[in-house]
Amino acid sequence: MDVSQAKQEHLLALKVMRLTKPTLFTNLPVTCEDRDLPGDLFDQLMREDPSTIKGAEALMLGEMLTLPQNFGNIFLGETFSSYISVHNDSIQVVKDILVKADLQTSSQRLNLSASNSAVAELKPESCIDDVIHHEVKEIGTHILVCAVSYTTQYGEKLYFRKFFKFQVLKPLDVKTKFYNAETDEVFLEAQIQNITTSPMFMEKVSLEPSMMYNVTELNTVAGGDEGESTFGKMSYLQPMDTRQYLYCLKPKPEYAEKAGVIKGVTVIGKLDIVWKTNLGERGRLQTSQLQRMAPGYGDIRLSLEMIPDTVNLEEPFDIICKITNCSERTMDLELEMMNTRSIHWCGVSGRQLGKLSPGAFLSLPLILLSSVQGLQSISGLRLTDTFLKRTYEYDDIAQVCVVCPYTNNEC
């Protein structure tokens, strides 16, 4: 912390101290074997040391607390607390004392004073105390500006300022990835890394979705205790360690059927991260609105509403396709089904599906079979808009596992 000293001698003295939690006292235990020359001397000294834990003298952590020896680090999301004291060092009575504390950041200047009213008088050897708090929301250089104005007993008005400069560091590195499912679901993977030099207790990592989505957290153990985290009961994040959190977002029912609306949604929501550090000091970060690249469905989107996981070889099975008009015009659709090497469609190809309004959809049941075992890709559908004579081909719509129904595997 840099302090600019006032050149003029003043009747009042200003002291500013940062308020932080103490730390556990640590010592370096020195031990030796009984057959060594010191014998039991080192163990006896540690037992007599008041800072050690009785019965566990060899531990580095003691029972005492240590007050901060320096300014320390301030991280984004933490609460900056400072004690401001104005003391009358003179033998005069000082009047109309006004103490003002401002915090200057790279983008704004904030008033942190609890009261903006002046104190009527301050007798010799008396002081005015104040504690300020501020949740740090910007990284980079911060300057705490403390200004004091007062009037002497002879009516002279005096004024001085002091500047305290400190840096706000970044505590976490947050990276996000989006995965668009075949349905309208969106999966968000958040990678959070602790880039400080001390461990963190991750109290909460949640996703606040935008108004069009509902969110499901996928960070609990399936089949375990209710709400059991995948990271265990003690959710500590060591320095430079990284954790991955997963969330599933589904459109709300009132928006799910509006294909055009969901298609253009890029704002997903924001992450809310709360952690605790030394002796329970809390920090909180909220990311800006997370945005994804909107999937390009084109004019017509074809997805599957129902498909079996496993089917038998050369036996027909049912699927249900969902055809959505993502354009801004009405379409008159025709469906063609083309066989592939392994997939064979059942039914009439080239049938009319009728008109489909903008944003509307239709569910289409189809029957097909596979002539090849293994994991097969469903392909070979073609839609034609007879109004504009445009065709849309769909390959690799989904995959299905084809197995032999006979126990002797003679297929």
3-state secondary structure of 87: strand
3-state secondary structure of 6: coil
Phi and psi, residue 262, nearest 5°: -65, -35
84, HSE (Cβ side, Cα atoms, 13 Å): 25
Q: How far apart are CA 74 and CA 403, in angstroms?
A: 61
Report DSSP state, residue 134.
Answer: E
pLDDT tens, position by position, 270-301: 999 999 987 788 899 999 888 876 666 678 88
pLDDT at position 346 is 93
- 188-227 residues labelled b (16+ CB within 10 A) or e (exposed): bebebebebeeebebeebbbebbebbebeeebeeeeeeee
Domains along the chain with CATH numbers: 12-19+69-169 (2.60.40.10), 172-222+229-294 (2.60.40.1230), 300-403 (2.60.40.10)
Are 248 and 187 in contact, with CB atoms under 8 Å apart?
yes
Q: How far apart are CA 123 and CA 127, in angstroms?
A: 8
Say which range, 55-59, 286-290, 367-371, has the weakest mean pLDDT.
55-59
Are 313 and 404 in contact, with CB atoms under 8 Å apart?
yes
Query: Which stretch of DSSP H or E encloses residue 186?
Result: strand 186-194
pLDDT at position 60 is 61
Query: Which stretch of DSSP H or E encloses residue 287?
Result: none
State pTM to two decimals.
0.66
* pLDDT band, very low/low/confident/very high, at 264 (cuts 50, 70, 90): low
Say which range, 65-74, 118-127, 209-218, has the weakest mean pLDDT.
65-74
Report DSSP state, residue 220.
Answer: B
Q: Max alpha carbon distance in the chain (Å)?
A: 112
Q: Looking at per-residue confidence, does 254 or 397 come out higher?
A: 397
pLDDT at position 3 is 47
Q: How far apart are CA 411 and CA 407, in angstroms?
A: 10
* pLDDT band, very low/low/confident/very high, at 1 (cuts 50, 70, 90): very low
Opening angle at CA 315, ends 310 and 321, nearest 5? 65
Opening angle at CA 245, ends 239 and 251, nearest 5? 155
Q: How far apart are CA 343 and CA 345, in angstroms?
A: 7
At 124, the amino acid letter reads P
Which residues share a beta bridge with 98? Answer: 149
pLDDT higher than threshold 60 for residue 4: no
Paired tokens of 371:
């002539």
Report DSSP state, residue 294.
Answer: P
